[in-house]
Every structure is written in structure tokens, then in C-alpha cells.
Amino acid sequence: MFHTWRDPNESVMLYNKDMIENIARVTPSEWDMTSLHANSQLSANTRLVDKGKGKKTVWRLKNVELEPVDESMYGVFFSGDCYLVHYQYEGGDILYYWLGSHSSIKEQTAVTIQTIVKDNNDFSGNAVQVRLVQGKECLHFLTMFEGSAIIYKGDHQDVLPTTFLLQVTGTNETNTKAIQVNMSASCLNSNDVFIVKKKQAYFIWCGKGSSENEREMAGCIARRISNDGYSVIFEGQETDEFWSTIGGKQEYASSEKLAIATDLMPGRLFQISNASGIFTLEEIPNWSQQDLVPEDVMLLDVRDTIFLWVGEKANREEMKESTNLALQYLKADPSQRDLDTPIVVLKQGHEPVTFTGFFGPWDADLWKGHRTFEELKKQIELENSGVPS
């Protein structure tokens, strides 16, 4: 199972965020567009077709129809909705359809159909269609909004919320976004930067493990949201006003590993499954909470600890064998890992901050109403037959 270890030192190294997100630091800030188009390999490696300065038009799905979004709200998304973004550039047209993590299957199906219709009607079927799921936005999509994309909870509003806690992730205009989390100190994370707004109180909270670039990008987003001045607060120097604004002090993800400023990914995530009849362990690149599959057991390796996350719909065999597989994983590591490395088994919906802190913005409601592939298939069949589910 573990014959794919590629290098004796590979597992010792943590993975550079920019490398995993395919950001080429060798690319100059002012690109030579001629050389970019001439060098198709560079475009492929960075996942960027251009600098994101082309013409944008944004619609949101409303009652299965497309409704134009005001230009002042470009780059603002709500997790309960679906959006279509047309991007026009020198090389052609791209249609990005974005699916909010709390949008319905009906809405997701409708925006997919609307994308196809718009492509056929407006672009003779020649546009590039890109499906994006919240939390898995590609670099070019984020670049189009100059690193100031914001994802709020709930359904679309014409006026931005005035009270919120935003978790900012990213280091530059190609990989930064802000995601609303619960207004609670328990959602803080020493590895990130947060924007706090409530009435007249306005803060940027910088975790000990956040980098200067992350703080700069948080400042850009804060200025976009409001012209009001904000206070910058560093972890460990919080005022009483700050704690009062977010509901008081609580335990949050603040482990020693998270409190170290680094551009390295904190570990590796694997999916354990026996759906094919044999146990397989598949590594998930560029992972996030959305990659945790309720039908399976997931293995998170953060070097000093192995976490086994058990999905609520995982089968008994997967649960029974997961610890043994974790031991096999440690034994197979060519860097000669300590076989006494702690193995922590936790259940979906009961994750401690020592686990959730590795996933960036954590959405406790992500799996509400989750359906398996077979359940979704049955629902679609019933809807197509006109029989109520």
C-alpha cells in the first residue's frame, strides 16, 4: 500500500504552500504577457491564464435564473448561493460557476445548466467552463478579485453584514480569500489573521504564526470592506475590548506548531477506503475541510501526531482497520518514524481545536444534510420521475 513513497527524506519535509498551490515565485510581479503566452508550461504550472485584469461579469442564481450582481459586490460570495462569473481575456472566454458549500443540489444543478445555456447562446459553445466548489477556488479565480474575495455565511444580501469574524488565508493576490466563521474566540487560529467587525469596533488580529504577507493581505481586505480605521492586535496583546467584541476568551487552535510563522503546509491528508474491496490510502493534495469524506476514514499526518478522522458513515471494516493502517503507514515511512507516535482517533462532529486548527476556516455545519453518492443518485432519479422524495 505504501510502495509509492518517493524519497527517503520526502516525509520529513513539509510542503510549501506556494508549491502545492502551484504559485511560481519565479514569476515577476509585472509579467511579460508575451512570454507568458509563449511559455505554456509556465501557465500550466501557475494555473494562471493571465494577470486577472480582463473583463468580469458576475451573476448569482435566484430562483433558478441568473440575476446580475452589482459591480461593487464583485468578489463577494455567500455560502448559501451559487454564482456564475464570465471572464473575458485576450485568449477567449471563461465561465466559472461557483457552488457555495451550503447551496442546495437544486441550485447547483440549475447553475450548471445556466452555464451551459450561456455558453451555447453567447459564445457558440466555445467558452471554457470551470466548476468551482467553495474552498477549492483555483488561483486564477482568486487573482481576478485581486486577493480580496470574501465568502460570507448564509444567503445573498445586497448590503454587507456589519458584524462578522473573517479568517484570512493567503499571502498574495493569487491565493488570498477571507471566509466568515462564527463570531467566537474558539474560531481563532494562531497560524492565521482575522478581521473582526462589530458596530464601531474594528480589529485585525494577527496570530503568532501569521506572516507579514498574510497581514498585508488582511489589511487590503479590511480596507475594501470599510473605510473606518481599524486596530491591529497581535496574539497575546489583546485588549478587554477585543475579547468583549468576540464574546469573551475561549480555547482556540494555538498549538506550538501553529504558532510558528512558516509558508509550509502543516501535514499530509490521506483518504482510507475499502470501497473497491481492498483497503487503499490515497493522498489528497492542497486539502481543506471539504476533503473530509463522511463515508470514509481520513488520516492526517502532522509529523508529531497521526489523526484518524472517522466519518459518521464510514463502514465498520474501515473503522476497525484504521489504527492498524496508521501503524503500517508509520512503519513504511522511509524516514524511520517513531512507531510510538501518538495516534488520535476522533469522530465527525466531535473534532477538537487541536485537529480543526490544521484546516483553516472550519465550518461546523458543513455536513448538515450530507447525502452519499447513492442517496443523491436516488434523489435525482425520483425528481426526474416526478415522484416527491
pLDDT digits (tens, 9 = 90+) for 143-153: 999 999 999 99
* pLDDT tier for residue 382 given thresholds of 50, 70 and 90: low
Distance, in Å, from the CA atom of 237 to the CA atom of 214, rounded to the nearest integer, reads: 19
At residue 190, the 3 state secondary structure works out as coil
Which three cell numbers mark 377?
A: 443518485
**pLDDT tens digits, one per residue of 199-242:** 888 999 999 999 999 999 999 999 998 877 899 999 999 999 99
Distance, in Å, from the CA atom of 143 to the CA atom of 73, rounded to the nearest integer, reads: 16
The whole-number pLDDT of residue 267 equals 85
DSSP one-letter code for 172: S
**Domains in the chain, CATH or no CATH each:** 10-14+264-373 (3.40.20.10), 47-145 (3.40.20.10), 161-245 (3.40.20.10)
Backbone angles phi, psi at 204, to 5 degrees: -115, 120
The whole-number pLDDT of residue 377 equals 60
Question: By C-alpha distance, which of 54, 52, 81, 53 is closest to 69?
Answer: 81
At residue 76, does pLDDT exceed 60? Answer: yes
Count other C-beta atoms under 10 Å from residue 222's C-beta.
24
Mean model confidence pLDDT for the chain = 82
Give the lowest-confidence range in 35-44, 63-72, 84-93, 357-366.
35-44
**pLDDT tens digits, one per residue of 10-52:** 332 233 333 323 323 333 333 333 333 344 444 444 567 889 9
The whole-number pLDDT of residue 38 equals 42
